[in-house]
Amino acid sequence: MIKSIGIVGAGTMGSGIAEVAALAGIATVLTDTSEPTLTAARERIAQSIKRAVGKKRVSASEAEEANARITLTPSLADLTACDLVVEAIIEDEQVKRDLFRQLDRMLAPHAILGSNTSSLSITALASATQRPDKVVGIHFFNPVPLMKLVEVVQGRHTSNDTALEAFELAQRLGKTAVLCKDTPGFIVNRIARPFYGEALRLLGEGVASAEQIDYIVKTEGGFKMGPFELMDLIGIDVNYAVTKSVYEQFAHEPRFRPHAIQKQMVDAGTLGRKAGRGFFDYAGAGPNPPKAQS
């Protein structure tokens, strides 16, 4: 039974994981090498918990206890007593492997190493440690406090016990866990690829405009967002990077081939909402709403 969690990386994902762990009554240590990032994380978590109190999802006393359960520290050494350490750092295999190698030397033999990677191989990360049976993917979705899904990814050497512990932990955090094998993109980031890829091809071939495609996907298919507004929200650079990663890991399988339109938009800096412009224009009066056609 996991009683204490360490999280490395205090960005949006790391602080979100810390928040849900603390709210679930688990002692939580959140670490980051950057002091300003830690300060921002403390503020982000406090605000998020406050909103949960406002929406009556959490009582005032639970909120106070949760905030008190989180230790923020710039030192990795403060993680040594944790039963599970989840990394939520930059999506770079070498950087993650270096971190796992370091944690492997510091942590107790029973401790589990979890990765919040969205597309890197858990098996590859595990090979940097002497405990590949205790390395598991625990992939949360953004924003962590709101999104219910956690993909528990079993690498080639991940033991069933480790996968089960991660699975049960996700449930304790109030999430719906799904178990999957360690293949590129896992479930969501793999199966969602045609949603974007085919939409981009339809646009490129002039079958329909981005507005039309979004309109059809929402009204005909019942999706909450069309592929183009969703790419704008995620960030066209982020979406392109995931597609490229899955494509390369699948040995250039044509089904995952990135589209030239996306690369050109990344090159042009039209990255979506965060840049004020992507497939739609967000400057000034806000995004152009997809138009109905009749």
Partner 1 sequence: MMEKHIWILGDSPLVEEYTALFVQHEFETRVRINPEGAVSRVPLGARQFVESEQITSAVLELTALSQETKRKNLVLLDDIVPFHIPILSASVTATVAEQASWLKYPSRLIGIGAFPTLLDSGTIELVQSPTTGNPARVAAEQLVAMLEMHVALVEDSVGLVMPRILCSLINEACFALAEQLAEPEDIDTAMKLGTNYPCGPFEWAERIGAKHVLAVMKALHRFYEEDRYRSAPLLQMAALRNMSLRKMNG
The set of catalytic residues is 118, 139, 151, 189
* From 96, 131, 134, 190, residue interacting with partner 1 (rule: CB under 8 A): 190
- Both tokens of 50, joined, read 């406050």
Q: For residue 106, what are the CA distances in angstroms to 80, 83, 111?
A: 6, 12, 10
Could you say whether residue 171 binds partner 1 (CB under 8 A)? no
Residue 187 or 261 with smaller CB distance to partner 1: 187
Determine the residue type at 182: D
**Minimum Å distance from CB 153 to partner 1?**
10
CB closer to partner 1, 191 vs 268: 191
b/e string for 198-209 if b means 16 or more Cβ within 10 A?
ebbebbeeeeee
User: Which span sits near partner 1 by CB under 8 A: 15-23, 36-44, 91-99, 143-151?
Assistant: 143-151
Residue 144 near partner 1 by CB under 8 A? no
Residue 137: name the closest of 171, 173, 104, 185 by CA.
185
Assess 181 for contact with partner 1 (CB under 8 A): yes
* Smallest distance from partner 1 to CB 151, Å: 6
Residue 149 interacting with partner 1 (CB under 8 A): yes
Contact present, 141 and 149 (Cβ < 8 Å):
yes
Q: Which residues are bridge partners to 112 per DSSP?
A: 84
Contacts with partner 1, residue ranges (CB under 8 A): 141, 147-149, 151, 176, 178-181, 183, 186-188, 190-195, 197-199, 202, 205-208, 212-213, 215-217, 219-225, 227, 254-255, 257, 292-294
